[in-house]
Structure 1
């Protein structure tokens, strides 16, 4: 059976992803900013959390690790490159490793730039990728611990995933990202159309993620950057953008 994926809002703009395999009854949570809303949602659904998957060490992605682990005994899977910064980790993973949820396999992709050891988890057969703060709807993560060249490589790599792949990022940044995208590519009709949809969705209080690789190829100025230099220029412009 297909994975069941539930979006849990947390903090001001985070999304935590609760992922359930009906066949094995295993459930994992991606990047729990907080424990309480995750435990409440799992309890409401009658799901037993068996694992936590972290994409990177930032507290708004790992803050719920300890509480969920204490309550459920869940195994914490984390990027090997950030082991010292995720003390709750039980299993460390890196490029090419397979991580299982029941019979569903996710491949680990190392995507450094936002943080030095950032990873993504790609369920190829399920058409889903959990990308943390690397790729956003119409945006990318800030370059806190890496370079524009690394982020450009990440964008190029993610762009090669099947276009229908659903992309589960960790923040509701789409509206602000889209405003910059319009400034970066004012003649891109796809961005204009998408922003109208995004503005309408947000006015209704609706989430705008997950997105898809196809949507990002059409409207994301960072995935559409033709070189690391252009991505660097766009990232610096976005960091200063107040539109």
Structure 2
């Protein structure tokens, strides 16, 4: 138990010390942790970084929640009905394999450059990640519980609500942890490309001015946002399915 805490701390401390040393040799390209920390303090105190972070986070959370709902519903339908899977799977596979920068311009044409566009970009990127684990959960549930459900003579709606959805939750959470990272990178890229006020736009401004301290500071904020949401999902998974580890 102690090693699980000590080793990550040692790794982080070692990385920070190494970064500080390398930054003293190439300060204009690698920066230093102390300079990045100073930049973060100044940005939150004097600039609008907090407002930009809240803008990005609110879009991310709303779009991600919608992505989970859409991904679960589509995944349940594709897992339970073969004709739905045959009809939708080629398109979802193509969407998953397509780089996001390839379809973001199309979304700009459809939705403009406001929040609606950002929501659409997040949903297109994250929902498809949740669909495929949900399909796997449905197949696993059908193998384990279909005969029992048939013997109890429950109807389709009851089977969906009381069997398929609960049995697929662990798979959905796995997809959600992957999807939230894809959603975060998508909203950052979308803001970067269209100039919507957020962390992506702030990073674009720092890149234009070649401010490496600012770029790394914004990257740290993005990392913290993604890690926090992923941590919440991991905690939900551990609390909800603690019985699996007993």
- TM-score, scaled to structure 1: 0.23
Structure number with the higher strand fraction is 1
If asked which structure has higher relative contact order (CA below 8 Å, sep 6+), I would say: 2
